[in-house]
Structure 1
Amino acid sequence: MRNLLSICLIALLFACNNNASKHAAKDSTITKEDDNSKADDITMQEVEGVYQGTLPCADCPGIATTIQLNEDSTFLIEQVYKDRNKGSAFYSLGTWSLSDSIVSLKGIKDGPSMYKATLNGLQQLDMQGKEIVSTGNLNFNLPRVANKSFNTKSNIPLEGMFVYYADSHLLTVCATGKTYPVELTKETVNMEKDYSALKKKDKEALLVNVEGTFEFRPSMEGDKQVLTFVVRKFIKFLPGEKCK
């Protein structure tokens, strides 16, 4: 009887220990999954900023690329194809969103528009949003830089709806739908004259083609710096037309 009782106690203790080990392993798995989910949990505020690097190019040494993701959900991309077009820069504007650490750029007509976001950079994905598998030593990463804005290499061509009234110049960019104050320059004065001659009513918005840069300027009220569009070249108004 004593031997039988000892055997039963040993079996019971073994079963309890085995069950506890299974629960511990399960808890460990849950903790690991939770840690991974936290690692992938990145917010738009954390992604905002400027990313720069050289991305692969099919028929050139590389594409010097700068992507600026703004806090108002707009983006600006500057691309310079090395050894092509005499170093000319190409620009894209639009709006961006973030889902499951994937940055999606709305407004890109040709080429990849999705990037995997981390706290340190962006990784370019293919047209379907999948990671690019390269057989060569190609780099698809754009590291983050310290600044949240950058100086463009040249003027940015764009279309927008322009309004001038009470000494205020406002431009709503077609590609983003965002409205910016316009810096008073010689080109802006030329725009004022044409606008006054073409408008049919007060505060009428007219479609305009311009070239310029986005820069921070003091606001008209207070010392706050606001993002402003500086017209470097006024091209023409397109009366009667709207943003496409």
Structure 2
Amino acid sequence: MRRSTVIPFVLISSIHMASCDQSTQSNQLLKQNDSIKNQVTPQYIGLYQGTTPCMGCFSRCDDCPGMAVDLQLNADQTYVLSRLSLSGHNQAEEIKGQFKFINTEKSLIQLNGVPTRNIILVDLVNKMLEIRIDGTGEEYENFDDFSLNLTG
């Protein structure tokens, strides 16, 4: 009699322990899924494009078509900057590197490795970037000439 009581008890205990293991695994999976959902994609990432004044000018010139600029910002704070002189006065360039936020509001970034026009205002409301004056981060008088729009 005693043996017939022990066997069902052992079976029930084993089943209960197995279900606890599955419950623990399920809880761990749910926590992992929640953690992935909580990772927010930064709003600034994307490809920005525009035509800016040539490197020597502070506004558009009548006799110069300017520069085509593409700037890809990535979530890992890396960038790819491509600049092409539409007049042919300068060599095309592509620079890859990292950027950093240089103010507490995280609205100004600095492109590391870019010698000029490396301070950028991030305008999330209008989905655009504005290239700022080197060194000061102030806007150009004709700031519309230095805007890059989010393309996608």
TM over 0.5: yes
Matching residue of 2:141:
133
Pick closer, same or farther for the CA change 1:118–1:44 going to 2, 3 Å.
Answer: farther
Q: Which has the higher contact order (CA 8 A, sep 6+)?
A: 2
TM-score (norm 2): 0.59
Residue matched to 2:121: 116
1:45 alignment partner, SS class:
coil
The partner residue of 2:67 within 54, 60, 63 is 63
Q: Is 1:104 matched up with 2:110?
A: yes
Give the equivalent residue in structure 2 for 1:52.
49
| Structure 1 CA distance for aligned equivalents of residues 144 and 129 of structure 2 | 15
Q: Which residues of structure 2 form unaligned runs of 5+?
A: 1-39, 58-63
Unaligned residue ranges in structure 1 (runs of 5+): 1-42, 147-244
Q: Distance in 1 between matches of 2:141 and 2:123?
A: 19
Distance in 2 between residues matched to 1:90 and 1:44, nearest whole Å: 29
Render the CA deviation track for 1:76-104: whole Å, top value 9, x for unaligned: 1001001216x963111110122321121
Is the contact made by 1:80 and 1:90 (CA closer than 8 Å) also made in structure 2?
A: yes
Task: Please tell me the root mean square deviation across aligned C-alpha atoms, in Å.
Answer: 2.3
CA drift of 1:107 comes to 1.1
Q: TM-score, normalised by structure 1?
A: 0.38
Identity among equivalent pairs (%): 27
Q: 1:111 to 1:91 in 2, by over 3 A?
A: same
- Compute the displacement of 1:118 (Å): 1.2
Matches within 5 A, 1:75-114: 75-84=79-88, 89-98=92-101, 99=103, 100=105, 101-108=107-114, 110-114=115-119
Change (3 A) 1:67 1:83: same
Amino acid at match of 2:67: I
**How many residues in Structure 1 have an aligned counterpart in Structure 2?**
100
